[in-house]
């Protein structure tokens, strides 16, 4: 049975009719490639997930849920993970910039890392009401349970085999998904300028948490410094520490100064100027050979040198 369904490289191919428009009346069919999700390192969700390739660029979670839930009437979609969108809130601790503090998060209830993840949540408002997918992109569709997933795959194969017409996104009420086209761009132009209050809140929240994070980090750092190391010593530091970037700038300046000092002493001895002259001669010799090569090259490319 399953063999008969159109397949490519083990993927079930599901044709989708794209909605036609007055400005582009030609009917167009889009092909979705579907297979069970089998990642190299399985996670708890992978057994109830489908891996779909070649999502239309306007795909949203609503579209996918609608496709499997209503149009194929097979299974309930619980979530969709798109390509290029980093998975949020996974079990792995959020990666932080400063790895030093990893070890010392035992007793404290609110660690710097917790604060950091809180900080990451505070972002500037988005300027698009609907994100686009890249053409040919893939997505992972997580279903409510394994049965839903299997039923969906079967339904898709069946639809493909029978040639059932499924129109992409047909039947989704317009208020559930923001419109494409000029409306989307107008709303983008509007959303590019967030309200002053909204922006100010974001900034203030961020700054507050950011200050807390720095504070927490500093505390952790100083505590760590206060602990004796393997040999039982405590490193004593003094004064406010410059941050590393400012240090780097300072170093650069210092190097520049040194360089300046070294200048002007090159012509001091006679041997220096003699060596310099020799060097120059060598250089010229090299350049002459280069010129010869260049000319040969030009001749090869353009043919003979002739007036236009």
Partner 1 sequence: MSAHAVKRRRLSPSPANSNSLTQSKASDATPLSSKEETPKTTQSVARKDDPLTKSHPGRRGNEDGSAELAMASGFYKSSFFKLQMDELLTGLRPNYEKQISKLQDTLHKLKDTIENLPDKESKSVAEAEKELRTVSEIVIPWPEPRPAKDAKYTMAYAKPANINVVGSVVLKTGAKTTDSRPVDLAVTMPSSIFQEKDYVNYRYFHKRAYYIACLAAGIQKPMDALGLDIKFGFQDGDSLRPLILLEPRSTSKSDPTPQPQIRILTAVEPTLFPITRTLPIRSNVRQGSKDQSEAGEPTPYYNASLRSEAAVSLYHKYLHSTAQKCESFRDACVLGRTWLQQRGFHTSFQNGGFGGFEWAALVSLLFEGGGPSGQPILLRSYSSYQIFKATMQFLAGRDLTTPLLLFASDVAVPDGGPVLYDGRRGLNLLYKMTVWSYAALRHESSITLKMLNESREDNFDRVFIVKVDEPALRFDRLISFPKAFNGDTLRAVREQNTLYTTLSKALGDRVKLISLASHSAESWSIRAKALTKKASHSLSVGLLLDADNVNRVVDHGPAAEEKEEAASFRDFWGNKSELRRFKDGSILESLVWSDQPSEGSIVLQILTYILQRHFQITEDDFSFTGDEYDEMLLDEGDGILAYSSPPFQSIKEAFSDLERSIGNMEEVPLTIRHLAPASPLLRYTALRVQAPGGAQEPADIVLQFESSSRWPDDFAAIQMTKAAFLLKIGDSLESSGAASSCRVGLENESSKVLNNLYLDIAHTSGFLFRLRIHHDREQTLLERQLKDKGINPREREEIAYALFTYKRLFVQAPRLTQAFRSLCTRLPLLSPTVRLVKHWFNSHLFSARICDELIELLTVRAFTQPYPWDCPSSVMTGFLRTLHFLSRWDWQQEPFIVDLSGDLTPQMTETIRTRFTAWRNIDPAMNTVALFVASDIDTDGVTWTQYEMPSKVVAGRISTLAKAAVSLLRKESHNLDVTDLFQTSLAPYDFVINLRPKFSGDRSAAVSKYKNLVDGASNQPSALAIVKSFVHDVEACYGQSVLLFHGDERCGVIAGLWNPQTLKPRNWNLKTAYSTAPVGSTESTGRVSINQLAILNEIARLGEGLIDTVDTGDLKA
Q: Restricting to residues 106-145, name those near partner 1 by CB under 8 A.
A: 119, 124-128, 132-138
3-state secondary structure of 131: coil
- Token readout for 175 is 């208020």
Beta carbons within 8 Å of 154's beta carbon, 6+ residues apart: 74
Binders of partner 1 in range 63-102 (CB under 8 A): 97
255 binds partner 1 (CB under 8 A): no
Q: Are 172 and 66 in contact (CB under 8 A)?
A: yes
Q: Select the span of 106-114, 206-214, 222-230, 258-266 touching partner 1 (CB under 8 A).
A: 206-214
307 binds partner 1 (CB under 8 A): yes
Q: In a 10 Å sphere around its CB, with 0-12 CB exposed, 13-18 middle and 19+ buried, how is residue 16 labelled? A: buried
Nearer to partner 1, 43 or 248 (CB): 248
Binders of partner 1 in range 285-304 (CB under 8 A): 285, 287-288, 291-292, 294-295, 297, 299, 301-302, 304
Query: In 10 A of CB 29, how many CB atoms?
Result: 10
CB of 288 to partner 1, least distance (A): 5
Binders of partner 1 in range 218-237 (CB under 8 A): none
Q: Are 14 and 34 in contact (CB under 8 A)?
A: yes
Beta carbons within 8 Å of 295's beta carbon, 6+ residues apart: none
CA distances 265 to 65, 273, 275, 277, Å, are 76, 11, 14, 16
Nearer to partner 1, 146 or 276 (CB): 276
d(CA 42, CA 48): 11
27 binds partner 1 (CB under 8 A): yes
CB of 257 to partner 1, least distance (A): 18
CB of 306 to partner 1, least distance (A): 6
Give the one residue of 100, 147, 199, 226 binding partner 1; rule: CB under 8 A: 199
Binders of partner 1 in range 167-186 (CB under 8 A): 180-183, 185-186
């Amino acid at each position: 049975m399953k063999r008969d369904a159109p397949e490519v490289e083990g993927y079930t191919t599901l044709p989708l009719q794209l909605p036609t428009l007055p400005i582009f009346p030609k009917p167009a069919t889009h092909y979705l490639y579907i297979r069970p999700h089998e990642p190299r390192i399985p996670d708890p969700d992978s057994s109830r997930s489908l891996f779909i390739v070649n999502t239309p660029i306007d795909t949203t979670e609503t579209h996918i849920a609608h496709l499997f839930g209503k149009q194929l009437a097979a299974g309930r979609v619980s979530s969709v993970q798109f390509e290029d969108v980093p998975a949020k809130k996974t079990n792995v601790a959020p990666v932080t910039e400063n790895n030093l503090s990893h070890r010392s998060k035992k007793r404290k209830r609110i660690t710097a890392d917790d604060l950091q993840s809180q900080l990451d949540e505070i972002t500037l408002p988005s300027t698009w009401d609907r994100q686009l997918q890249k053409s040919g992109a893939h997505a992972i569709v997580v279903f409510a349970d394994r049965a839903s997933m299997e039923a969906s795959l079967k339904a898709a194969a069946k639809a493909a085999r029978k040639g059932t017409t499924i129109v992409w996104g047909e039947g989704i009420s317009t208020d559930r998904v923001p419109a494409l086209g000029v409306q989307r761009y107008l709303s983008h132009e509007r959303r590019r300028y967030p309200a002053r209050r909204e922006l100010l809140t974001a900034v203030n929240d961020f700054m507050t948490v950011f200050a807390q994070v720095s504070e927490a980090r500093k505390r952790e750092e100083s505590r760590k410094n206060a602990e004796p190391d393997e040999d039982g010593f405590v490193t004593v530091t003094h004064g406010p520490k410059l941050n590393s970037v400012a240090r780097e700038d300072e170093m650069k300046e210092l190097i520049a100064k040194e360089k300046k000092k070294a200048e002007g002493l090159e012509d001091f001895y006679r041997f220096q100027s003699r060596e310099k002259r020799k060097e120059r001669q060598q250089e010229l010799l090299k350049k002459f050979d280069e010129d010869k090569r260049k000319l040969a090259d030009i001749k090869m490319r353009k043919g003979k040198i002739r007036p236009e």
